[in-house]
Amino acid sequence: MAEISDVFFVDGMRTPFGRAGEKGMYWNTRADDLVVKAIIATLERNPNVPKDRIDDVAIAATTQQGDQGLTLGRTAAILAGLPQSVPGFAIDRMCAGAMTSVTTIGSGIGFGAYDIALAGGVEHMGRHPLGAGADPNPRFLTEKLVSPDALDMGVTAERLHDRFPELTKERADRFGMLSQQKAQAAYDAGKIQPDLVPVAVKDASGAWGIASEDEGRRPETTMEGLAQLRTPFRAHGRVTAGTASPLTDGATISLLAGGAAAREFGLKPKMRMVSFAFAGVEPEVMGLGPVPSTEKTLRKAGLSITDIGLFELNEAFAVQVLSLLDHFNIADDDPRVNQWGGAIAVGHPLAASGVRLMIQLAAQFAERPDVRYGLTAMCVGLGQGGSVIWENPHYDGKK
């Protein structure tokens, strides 16, 4: 009989995130190769894990075509040198792809079907822009099921500003500026680099180099500079490039295990999964998604928002994070929130981002034995939210 098990986040690594497009560092790099790099590095850092004991590999991608298609979990496992006996699959929940990889694999571990597995995601938005090749059912428009621009994420962000006038452009600009400053401070303190996988890349001239850090950071950002940026989603709008996550390429991987496997292989888990939840909202205001998903996961965990000591919230847009903070009466600059910056600074390679949040939360847990619970949460295209609550194994009960 399979036994119910704890679910542990043992480790996680990611590639540096690159700017999407011809000028980005991964323009000549395949999406599946980014995943393979992250898998190999994660397993090299965990040599106690026998490769033939990995029960499954779940890899998310939003635009599953070309080098991001063909059942990525299985193809990446083969390319990474895992035994042929290791299966794999692909998954898609747009921005929450990697998060769903983790919760799906975690569910299998909790049920006792898996002992140890890999979960992550990739997005090469330079090669595969959001929605490329998609053929939405015409009923969406003819029956007015969703607005024609519901897949234009910038428009959905502008609607949050409309719906909540207190979410001003100035607040969003300040949040965006602080994200850049916090990300650079984290880099300067060496917080981010230990979990990055260097990637060999080839530029347009054919010269080789190493991608070793996130490419899109703008630490010199100022409020004055942000005030001058154009608003591409609406004339006289409030969302700018300074308050939105840039188009990004990158991959993430996590190693998950049950309690028995962690003991058997002598693993030291970085986090324990407490609960998770996904929820739906109107696609036109998809940024509100993490509000109901967070309420749901708190309810399932028997916790309240005041129990959460650290937050890693995906900054698809500044206004989207602010809408969640306002809902839970959390200050814009609360030190518990995104203390190493977020996607506005480092980028948001859609299906990869959920595990980036987990990697950063795990590293923060190690520094904060006074914090027991943390939250990773994100909004999702087409009107969804995803939230996962984690427990800190380093918690010592002292405040």
Convert the pLDDT of each residue in 248-291 to its tens digit: 999 999 999 999 999 999 999 999 999 999 999 999 999 999 99
**Adjacent-strand bridge partners of 378:** 386
pLDDT value for 391: 98
Rounded Cα–Cα distance for residues 311 and 75 (Å): 33
Query: Tens digits of per-residue pLDDT, 302-317?
Result: 999 999 999 999 999 9
Q: How far, CA to CA in Å, does 170 sit from each of 161, 234, 339? A: 11, 17, 20
Pairwise pLDDT comparison (1 vs 162), residue with the higher score: 162
Identify whether 111 is part of a domain. yes
Identify whether 23 is part of a domain. yes
Q: Which of 236, 327, 379, 394 is catalytic?
A: 379
Average pLDDT, the chain: 96
Annotation says 394 is catalytic: no
If one counts the domains in the chain, the total is 1
Identify whether 381 is part of a domain. yes
**Adjacent-strand bridge partners of 387:** 277, 377
pLDDT value for 296: 98
Identify whether 169 is part of a domain. no
Annotation says 348 is catalytic: yes
Identify whether 134 is part of a domain. no
Domain hosting 297: range is: 7-128+246-389
Identify whether 107 is part of a domain. yes
Q: What is the CATH number of the domain that holds 106?
A: 3.40.47.10
Question: Using alpha carbons only, how large is the chain's radius of gyration in Å?
Answer: 20
Identify whether 222 is part of a domain. no
Q: Which of 95, 124, 128, 161 is catalytic?
A: 95
Q: Which of 236, 327, 348, 394 is catalytic?
A: 348
pLDDT class for 147, splitting at 50, 70, 90?
A: confident
The yes-or-no verdict on residue 148 having pLDDT over 90 is: no
pTM for this structure? Answer: 0.97
**pLDDT > 70 in the chain, percent:** 100
Q: End-to-end CA distance of the chain, in Å?
A: 41
Query: Tens digits of per-residue pLDDT, 32-87?
Result: 999 999 999 999 999 999 999 999 999 999 999 999 999 999 999 999 999 999 99
Annotation says 327 is catalytic: no
